[in-house]
Structure 1
Amino acid sequence: MANEKDSRWERNHPRREQVNNRLANQNKRIHQEVKEGELTHRQAAALHHRDGQIRQEERIMASQNGGHITRQEQRTLNHQENAVSGQIGQ
């Protein structure tokens, strides 16, 4: 949710912010799992690649909609992120 400390971008693009925050969190989780020996570097690279594809898709969606993503696009991206998230730390 937007608050006083959110940047103008965050206030104007809350759905994009949520999607991108999830991607950043997953990036941290992947690094932590590699550090703990739960993921190999090859597995981590594959997960990072998939997250990169999701981030690119988010950018394309936003570029087609004046810098915003719709609720349905957000749900679609979150569904894809859920699939990646389920592969982290198995």
Structure 2
Amino acid sequence: MKIRQLSVIVLGLLTASAMVSVNAADGQWAKKHPRRAEVNAQLKEQNKAIHHEVKTGEMTKVKAKKLHQQNHHIRKEEQAMAKVNGGHITKAQQKVLHHQANKVQKKIS
């Protein structure tokens, strides 16, 4: 009887683990992770600011392209970090990403 109960528990754990792996690979829940969302919101706002600067003639398209590329690089780095960490980023990683994004922000204003 105990072996049967243990088998059921192990099977349940394996099934739950597989479901978490699928969700992490899918990335749907992970995109909503607070630290990821914060970094991505910062990058989104910066991209909007770059578009505004170009639209008003305060920034050249060449400079805007470079800044968009830098933001894109930060976003790809954020995705790679999340992939390694099961769909989220650590506080230290968030700090690094914010620091990089702040460097881009200074070039916008």
Once the 2 structures are TM-superposed, how far is the Cα of residue 36 of structure 1 from its aligned partner? 1.0
Task: Provide the TM-score with structure 1 as the length reference.
Answer: 0.86
**Superposed CA offset, 1:8-53 (max 9, x none):** 9489510000000000000000000001111100000000000000
How much is the aligned-residue C-alpha RMSD, in angstroms?
1.7
Question: What SS does the aligned partner of 2:108 have?
Answer: coil
The one-letter amino acid paired with 1:39 is: M
Q: How does 1:10-49 map to 2 (within 5 A)?
A: 13-49=33-69
Moved over 3 A (4+): 8-12
TM-score, structure 2 length as denominator? 0.71
2:74 maps to amino acid: I
Q: Which runs of 5+ in 2 are unaligned?
A: 1-27
> What is the aligned-residue identity percentage?
50
Tell me if the contact between 2:78 and 2:89 (Cα under 8 Å) persists in the aligned partners.
yes
**TM-superposition CA deviations, 1:38-87 (whole Å, max 9, x none):** 11000000000000000000000000000000000000000000000000
Question: Which structure has more helix as a fraction of its residues?
Answer: 2
* Alignment equivalent of 2:75, drawn from 47, 51, 55: 55
Give the conservation status (yes or no) of the 8 Å contact 1:13–1:68.
yes
Task: Give the count of matched residue pairs.
Answer: 82
